Amino acid sequence: MIYSGYIFDLDDTLYCEHDYVKSGFWVVANELANYRLDIDVSEIYEMLIDEWKRNGRGRVFDEVCRRLDIDMDISHLVRLYRGHVPNISLYDDAKKLIFYLKEKGKKLGIITDGNSTMQWAKVKALHLEKLFDYIIVTGDLGEEHWKPSETPYRKMVKHLHLDFADCVYIGDNPNKDFITAKKLGMGTVRIVRDVGDHMQTRLSREYEADYLIYSLTELIK
């Protein structure tokens, strides 16, 4: 594939989002340990991980606080989680592809959905600002502009001074990553990782990417 612009999703495309969750849970576990000095922080951390794996992320903090008999404002824990400095790193294949594309003089961008504080903390922890020409966190634009809205795609292409046909979007989530990019005329590539929330998702052709890959190095040709 020969494109001038390579636009990436962030979570589970360039790094493992589960590492972010674990990083945030460790910060929350340390906070909860202040309220239960009789329990080791690692035990509280394992409680958070266990609850997440059994019932998802939605009410992890509520349930663990209930089990620990800690009465506190859950929004405080959510703020700690969202505001923590994450301990995460790029996938090895992401590093290889990014540096390969930069050597080839390609333009690089990121479009990522989510809370602005969280997503920019990830961007900074991964040192992506110096590697990419333009980064859009749709949380900065308002939820009505989250993918699959056309807004971030149009904004990205305009900033890179490219046409849609010159660009490819690379992501992991067929629920929202590819449908608009395809309608606008961009190429689309889906990365399937060993770990990730959307790895087992399979949708109709309308939502799926043009190409399916299992390593970003498959794009180095």
Domain that holds residue 50: 18-83
Domain end, chosen from 45, 63, 83, is at: 83
Which residue carries 């609850």 as its tokens? 51
Q: Give one word for 185, left, alpha or beta, with left for phi > 0 and alpha for psi -120 to 50.
A: left
> Model confidence over 95-142: pLDDT tens digits?
999 999 999 999 999 999 999 999 999 999 999 999 999 999 999 999
| Mean pLDDT within 2-8 | 96
Who contacts 99 (Cβ-Cβ below 8 Å, separation ≥6)? none
Quick one: 100 and 62 in the same domain?
A: no
pTM metric for this prediction: 0.92
CA distances 198 to 12, 172, 192, 193, Å, are 9, 7, 8, 9
Quick one: 108 and 203 in the same domain?
A: yes
Among candidates 90, 115, 114, 86, which has minimal Cα distance to 28?
86
pLDDT of residue 198: 81
Q: Distance from CA of residue 114 to its chain's centroid?
A: 8
Look up the CATH number of the domain holding residue 52. Answer: 1.10.150
